[in-house]
Structure 1
Amino acid sequence: MCKIHVLTSCNRKTISAWLLFLMELFLVLPCIFSTEIFKPAALQDQHLNHVRIKRGWMWKQIFVLEEQEITEPLYVGQLRSDLDNHDGSFKYILSGDGAKTVFTIDENTGAIYVLKKLDREEKPSYTLRAQVINSLTGVPVEAESEFIIKIQDINDNEPKFINEPYVAVVPEMSPEGTFVMQVTATDMDDPSYGNSARLIYSILQGQPHFSIEPKSGIIRVASKMDRETKDKYFVIIQAKDMVGNVGGLSTTTTVTITLSDVNDNGPKFKEKIYDMSILESALVGEIVGTVIADDRDIGENAEIIYIIEEKGDFNMFDINTDPITQEGIITLNKLVDYESKRRYNIRVKAINRYFDERFIKQDLFEDTTAIRIHIQDVDEPPVFVQNAYYMEIYENASIGSHVNSVTAKDPDITNSPIRYSIIHNQFSKLFGIDAHNGSIITLKPLDREVAPWHNITVTATESQNPIHVSKVPVYIQVMDVNDHAPQFSKKYDTFVCELSRPGQPIQTISAVDQDDPALGHYFSYSLAHKTTNFTVRDNGDNTATIFTTKSMYSYEDNPLTYLVIVISDNETPSLSSTNTLTIRVCDCGKDGNAESCKAQGFLSSLGINGGAFIAISVGVLLILVLSILMFLKHRKKHEKLKEKGEECRQNFVKYDDEGGGEQDTEAFDIIGLRNQTVMREPKLNKKIRRDIPSLYRMSLRLGPDVVEFREFLSEKLEEANTDLSVLSPDTMHHYAFEGTGSMCGSLSSIGSTCSHMELNI
């Protein structure tokens, strides 16, 4: 017979405790009607072999209700062996998870007690081990067995939302059922037991604009909303356990839902007519005024494009959109004139830059307004009829000749009289202007060859308001007249050979003319006097060629011939000039090469014949060689003096001489002082050779050979090196003499203490 003693204590008189008691009773019923209870596996195997065995441990699964207030040990279950006769011979031992701290056992009876309040969410179960031994011998009566004590859940935890805070964005005017977001809450109670962890979601605030699915927590749009009316909603969501029944615990969270903008509004002008004004002196591009259309949308949905409709005076103005303020900036496209037109009318249209296809059929994306622009009169300076004036006058015009006129007008209605003047510069002094009618005249003679153009600046000033001045450039071109005769283009060096034949060309000549005729130059050439030696032939291309007319020319009889040539231009009246061509006679040799005459002609012009030129050349060469040798010798000696160091002589030649104003002549003669320092007696060198021929003889190749000349140079160098009376190269000349009679005194620093310092070289 199955004997199970289960005692359950119910200290909490709540509905949950009664439900637990009924459940435990339901679990015990099978044991009441059963002839067998839980036994260890070994005993079950013996039973299968139809062997009568002893009973083993006897217990059921033990449950403990959480959150019970424990003031004294609370009985929760019973352990018993079927061998126990309740005579005190058995001893029960409890070990494992929570033994002696959370749970304890009665050693004699096997009753299990809980010692403190338990929390299922902290630890849902405990695994323990039970053992029964003979209290007298200590020998185990039953094998050690493991059992579990489970903590029974009660609804002691409220739901909690995760991933807070909740923020969502949904486009305005979204249709019903549009998904917004999903919220999620969790409950720490046992979801496998009862309804403590089963949640239901609901909206406490936010209807009728939003709805929520009770089981999933998905928030959806319940009605269309306009951002321009309200752009942000705070929806309060509740999560409640126990499937929302009475007694369930709940929590709330706030979902911030912002409506994003869609382009469902078009621009609207605040006024239907705008009045603006601008000065008539305004330049192209100046701002006339601004207009703005209001768009209730934001961001790119509120961006506006302004255009001027092609009606009225649309081409006089332009409009652009300010990207920051979204204003329409109207600017001047053409110059305006108060005297011509005083008011302009335009129509401006405002259009959304971007469109939303859902609302494009509503025709809400443009608006039009009228603008009246008034022109304001200003006192303007005079205006010249032309932006620049180009005038012409001949260079032979007399002083006071009329060049041309400039004209300026007062653009205002008053039409004030104009006064003209010239801003003078170095060129404007050649011209004058009538202050009343603007006529320009010459004040000095003009010369095209000096300045072909003259640039002047003319001003126009209102007589009634002198501060209004206008300027205009005037360009005056000086026209050419034939006032210069042609001349040789260069100086010619012409030669003729003594053995020339008649008809040979000896020189081609050309001419230049400072004038600049419109049809170009054409020069004609002729001889001023008839001659039997030469003739001139016009080549037809502004050049002419000189030809010989006889076969023999003599240098001894007539070395130079002067040929006078007349050059005429083709202007009206024609001008001509006489030019003299010098022709030299030279010996061209048997081959008749006239190029050799050029060198002879150059020497002849200097009065030097061929032999003298050779002698001079040889002399210059000898002087050059001697100079090089003396330089090398002096350099070598200077290097030796540097090596000797202190043996080098230091010579100081001091002249205390400073200019003394008007009585400067009382100073010492510096040249005399210097010559006096180096003065020495002339010495006769007996080694000087007297048999050196002259340079002329050397030019004729009659001088000494190279060996003799080298000996001569060596003797001269030796004499220079052995003459100790010559000053050393490292000599300082110091002048510090100040003359008397200067009214201003001396400004020199030579008389200071520094001038008496000893100089070391």
Structure 2
Amino acid sequence: MPERLAEMLLDLWTPFIILWITLPPCIDTAPMNQSQVLMSGSPLELNRLSEEQRILNRSKRGWVWNQMFVLEEFSGPEPILVGRLHTDLDPGSKKIKYILSGDGAGTIFQINDVTGDIHAIKRLDREEKAEYTLTAQAVDWETNKPLEPPSEFIIKVQDINDNAPEFLNGPYHATVPEMSILGTSVTNVTATDADDPVYGNSAKLVYSILEGQPYFSIEPETAIIKTALPNMDREAKEEYLVVIQAKDMGGHSGGLSGTTTLTVTLTDVNDNPPKFAQSLYHFSVPEDVVLGTAIGRVKANDQDIGENAQSSYDIIDGDGTALFEITSDAQAQDGIIRLRKPLDFETKKSYTLKVEAANVHIDPRFSGRGPFKDTATVKIVVEDADEPPVFSSPTYLLEVHENAALNSVIGQVTARDPDITSSPIRFSIDRHTDLERQFNINADDGKITLATPLDRELSVWHNITIIATEIRNHSQISRVPVAIKVLDVNDNAPEFASEYEAFLCENGKPGQVIQTVSAMDKDDPKNGHYFLYSLLPEMVNNPNFTIKKNEDNSLSILAKHNGFNRQKQEVYLLPIIISDSGNPPLSSTSTLTIRVCGCSNDGVVQSCNVEAYVLPIGLSMGALIAILACIILLLVIVVLFVTLRRHKNEPLIIKDDEDVRENIIRYDDEGGGEEDTEAFDIATLQNPDGINGFLPPLFSLIFMVMHRTS
């Protein structure tokens, strides 16, 4: 308590000592202004001044200040004297009244209107308001008239250390990587003090750590927190609580202090390798397991977290590297062993693998600690299972000639039971693949025979499926595709490729090619087709035509002479023998029809009929057709024009009241029923010219002529 009182007295006297040093009295030789107000800086100093000294000061204009000071948080039984106002016009007759206005006048500060003494009547807080601006004036007591102009001055509230430091943003959280070196910066914290930072040490803060050592340290002035121990391990301890203190008065005794907490979390770095939970794993798997099935899982634990704990798994050695694979599960962080190829219990009953787990993300700072990986051994036992029959080949390709005899063997399939206790096998044909039942199979030995004749020209390939079934267990079956290719034999004679009809001009020349024909053969010889052409023996010396074999396996028919006349003979038939190159060769006779026609000078066929009209000399058939078409077109235009004019002047339909013709039907006679009712057609009577009146008889006649011409 004595120390606290001494500090308060020191704070109280410090400003007056400073003012006494920095503001020496000044002597003003000029005449004294009667309107000048004397303002004292402190009540203590006013008490020391005698009346004589105050008069001397007034005459010499000394100690005239424009500001006063009052200590904050000061309280007592009586109002505190802040200062005194006095004017030179006051002779002491008490005829002058002092008036105070401005900030806090009358509420915080009161003035004795006779003596000019200013008192603070309330407790002041510098942090709430640091200074007050007031105005003083001297007036006549009786008339209230101003004796001099108003004088403005300031009352400053002097600070005392009444506010402790505060951490406004606390509590704090910060992170720092584990294994950091000594002195690594973590964070910095800042406290605030409401006291005056420019007056004394009330707001001068010093920081220290109350709790959290020896792991962290703090800079006393900057509040920067650093690591105090190197290589702190997150896996040993992840979180630390640090208590920080800020003390004012420069940290000296008697100062006020405030505290806050800082939670420091060590973030993970990859400083730990993966480690398998066990060095040996055992798994068993049936031999008939489906490819890709998960056989088992292995796991390597890593004390790190997040991506630093991610590991990849590999099979690095063992006798099953070709049959098994391992994949990494990113979620569970383990390795999944899967089957890549089929297993066979009868061939090998167990496998041994060596698997490795290695970190995906390596921190080079810790690579010197050793390999960030681990290995383990995996033993896989294959269990026996009842397997279906196995064919000796995954597919079969058989060949048979199309003239093969019925019930002849065209091929054989074989299958076996792969189990130790081998079961006999029975074979059958899947009839969904042989709807016409063209093949049979021996159920015991798998020999395939021909059931119906084959024709390569109808179908070259036959695809069937053979089923192998275990006799002891009918549920164990296997299927195999069998492709049967039908081989060609020369069983089809060649013939014309199409129905040919040749045209011969009457004015043709000898040696002129009349027609070129080609042949086709349904067979498919290995070396391609080669045809021989010849005339019938009795027509070898044909006087009208001859044949010529072309290099492209086709045949040209040539005329031997000119002067053919369609009036004498209109059609010639030319039989041609076509032979193939098969073994044995086959042949057939095809007949070519040759029609004699009338042609133009340039060889264009115009008419092949004997009744063709004889055209005028120099006028071709095309020219005649063009002339007739023009004449018909002109007639059509004229008829349409006349018809339209007639129907424009006369209505197409006669009104009922103008139609004087009768359509009388008698029912008193025996008649023909419906024939009588259809005896007359009133519509026809009203429009006798045809449909809508636009088809006159002349137009109908022309239309018939055109139709006959075409």
Residue of structure 1 in register with 2:439 after alignment: 431
- 1:588-737 mapped onto 2 (5 Å cutoff): 595-596=604-605, 599-600=607-608, 603=609, 609-610=612-613, 675-679=675-679, 713=698
Residue of structure 2 in register with 1:530 after alignment: 538
SS at match of 1:197: coil
SS at match of 2:486: strand
Q: Tell me the amino acid that sits aligned with residue 713 of structure 1.
A: L
Residue of structure 2 in register with 1:121 after alignment: 127
- 1:380-459 mapped onto 2 (5 Å cutoff): 380-425=387-432, 428-459=436-467
State the shift of 1:22 in Å. 5.2
Q: Structure 1 residues 538 and 253 mapped into 2: Cα distance closer, same or farther (>3 Å)?
A: same
Alpha-carbon distance in 1 for matches of 2:242, 2:104: 47
Residue of structure 2 in register with 1:493 after alignment: 501
Residue of structure 2 in register with 1:518 after alignment: 526
Residue of structure 2 in register with 1:563 after alignment: 574
Residue of structure 2 in register with 1:15 after alignment: 6
Residue of structure 2 in register with 1:302 after alignment: 309
Alpha-carbon distance in 2 for matches of 1:321, 1:495: 83
SS at match of 2:202: coil
SS at match of 2:492: coil
Alpha-carbon distance in 1 for matches of 2:592, 2:164: 132
Q: Tell me the amino acid that sits aligned with residue 413 of structure 2.
A: V
Alpha-carbon distance in 1 for matches of 2:490, 2:237: 95
Q: Structure 1 residues 128 and 680 mapped into 2: Cα distance closer, same or farther (>3 Å)?
A: closer
Is the contact made by 2:508 and 2:562 (CA closer than 8 Å) also made in structure 1? yes
> Is 1:339 matched up with 2:342?
no
State the shift of 1:680 in Å. 5.3
> Is 1:321 matched up with 2:328?
yes
SS at match of 1:429: coil
SS at match of 1:161: coil
Alpha-carbon distance in 1 for matches of 2:536, 2:452: 37
Residue of structure 1 in register with 2:160 after alignment: 154
Residue of structure 2 in register with 1:108 after alignment: 114
> Is 1:330 matched up with 2:330?
no
Residue of structure 2 in register with 1:230 after alignment: 237
State the shift of 1:365 in Å. 1.0
Is the contact made by 1:66 and 1:154 (CA closer than 8 Å) also made in structure 2? yes
* 1:94 paired residue among 93, 100, 110: 100
User: How well do the aligned residues superpose, as a CA RMSD in angstroms?
Assistant: 4.4
Alpha-carbon distance in 2 for matches of 1:89, 1:205: 70
Alpha-carbon distance in 1 for matches of 2:267, 2:312: 23
Per-residue displacement from partner, 1:195-243 (whole Å, max 9, x unpaired)?
3222221212211111112222121111132111222222111112233
State the shift of 1:58 in Å. 6.5
Alpha-carbon distance in 1 for matches of 2:109, 2:265: 56
SS at match of 2:243: strand
Per-residue displacement from partner, 1:91-132 (whole Å, max 9, x unpaired)?
444344333222223233333322111112122233344445
Alpha-carbon distance in 1 for matches of 2:146, 2:632: 147
Alpha-carbon distance in 2 for matches of 1:133, 1:581: 154
Is the contact made by 2:11 and 2:160 (CA closer than 8 Å) also made in structure 1? no
Alpha-carbon distance in 2 for matches of 1:166, 1:100: 47
Q: Structure 1 residues 399 and 637 mapped into 2: Cα distance closer, same or farther (>3 Å)?
A: farther
Q: Structure 1 residues 645 and 432 mapped into 2: Cα distance closer, same or farther (>3 Å)?
A: farther
> Is 1:375 matched up with 2:382?
yes
State the shift of 1:459 in Å. 1.5
Is the contact made by 2:546 and 2:560 (CA closer than 8 Å) also made in structure 1? no
Alpha-carbon distance in 2 for matches of 1:576, 1:28: 146
TM-score (norm 2): 0.77
State the shift of 1:14 in Å. 3.8
- 1:238-277 mapped onto 2 (5 Å cutoff): 238-277=245-284
SS at match of 2:175: strand
Q: Structure 1 residues 412 and 124 mapped into 2: Cα distance closer, same or farther (>3 Å)?
A: same
> Is 1:196 matched up with 2:202?
yes
Q: Structure 1 residues 202 and 501 mapped into 2: Cα distance closer, same or farther (>3 Å)?
A: closer
Residue of structure 2 in register with 1:580 after alignment: 591
Q: Structure 1 residues 85 and 182 mapped into 2: Cα distance closer, same or farther (>3 Å)?
A: same
Is the contact made by 1:54 and 1:83 (CA closer than 8 Å) also made in structure 2? no
State the shift of 1:367 in Å. 0.7
Q: Tell me the amino acid that sits aligned with residue 586 of structure 2.
A: L
Residue of structure 1 in register with 2:80 after alignment: 74
Is the contact made by 2:509 and 2:562 (CA closer than 8 Å) also made in structure 1? yes
Residue of structure 1 in register with 2:489 after alignment: 481
Is the contact made by 1:268 and 1:294 (CA closer than 8 Å) also made in structure 2? yes
Alpha-carbon distance in 2 for matches of 1:714, 1:28: 140
Per-residue displacement from partner, 1:465-508 (whole Å, max 9, x unpaired)?
22222222222121122222222233333455667777665444
Gaps of 5+ in 1: 1-12, 46-50, 650-671, 682-709, 718-761
Per-residue displacement from partner, 1:540-589 (whole Å, max 9, x unpaired)?
64334445556766656655444333222222222222333344456669
Residue of structure 2 in register with 1:698 after alignment: none
* 2:554 paired residue among 543, 549, 553: 543
Q: Structure 1 residues 38 and 272 mapped into 2: Cα distance closer, same or farther (>3 Å)?
A: farther
Alpha-carbon distance in 2 for matches of 1:457, 1:116: 114
Q: Structure 1 residues 630 and 337 mapped into 2: Cα distance closer, same or farther (>3 Å)?
A: farther
Is the contact made by 2:178 and 2:234 (CA closer than 8 Å) also made in structure 1? yes
Is the contact made by 2:324 and 2:340 (CA closer than 8 Å) also made in structure 1? yes
State the shift of 1:28 in Å. 9.7
> Is 1:220 matched up with 2:226?
yes
State the shift of 1:368 in Å. 0.8
Residue of structure 2 in register with 1:206 after alignment: 212
Residue of structure 1 in register with 2:170 after alignment: 164
Alpha-carbon distance in 1 for matches of 2:466, 2:678: 75
Q: Tell me the amino acid that sits aligned with residue 398 of structure 1.
A: A
What is the aligned residue count?
Answer: 635
Q: Tell me the amino acid that sits aligned with residue 566 of structure 1.
A: I
State the shift of 1:630 in Å. 9.7
450-459 or 577-586: bigger deviation: 577-586
Alpha-carbon distance in 1 for matches of 2:649, 2:436: 70
Residue of structure 2 in register with 1:652 after alignment: none
Q: Structure 1 residues 535 and 195 mapped into 2: Cα distance closer, same or farther (>3 Å)?
A: closer
Question: Once the two structures are aligned, what percentage of the paired residues are identical?
Answer: 44
Q: Structure 1 residues 67 and 572 mapped into 2: Cα distance closer, same or farther (>3 Å)?
A: same
Q: Structure 1 residues 460 and 135 mapped into 2: Cα distance closer, same or farther (>3 Å)?
A: same
Gaps of 5+ in 2: 35-55, 616-620, 660-671, 682-694, 703-710
Is the contact made by 2:639 and 2:699 (CA closer than 8 Å) also made in structure 1? no
Q: Structure 1 residues 38 and 270 mapped into 2: Cα distance closer, same or farther (>3 Å)?
A: farther
Alpha-carbon distance in 1 for matches of 2:588, 2:496: 9
Q: Structure 1 residues 584 and 186 mapped into 2: Cα distance closer, same or farther (>3 Å)?
A: closer
> Is 1:464 matched up with 2:472?
yes
Alpha-carbon distance in 2 for matches of 1:52, 1:154: 32
Q: Tell me the amino acid that sits aligned with residue 474 of structure 1.
A: V
SS at match of 1:177: coil
Residue of structure 1 in register with 2:363 after alignment: 356
Alpha-carbon distance in 1 for matches of 2:680, 2:566: 55
235-244 or 551-560: bigger deviation: 551-560
State the shift of 1:192 in Å. 3.5
Alpha-carbon distance in 2 for matches of 1:44, 1:371: 112
State the shift of 1:172 in Å. 0.9
Residue of structure 2 in register with 1:734 after alignment: none
Alpha-carbon distance in 2 for matches of 1:97, 1:301: 67
Residue of structure 2 in register with 1:187 after alignment: 193
Alpha-carbon distance in 2 for matches of 1:418, 1:59: 132
Alpha-carbon distance in 2 for matches of 1:585, 1:243: 137
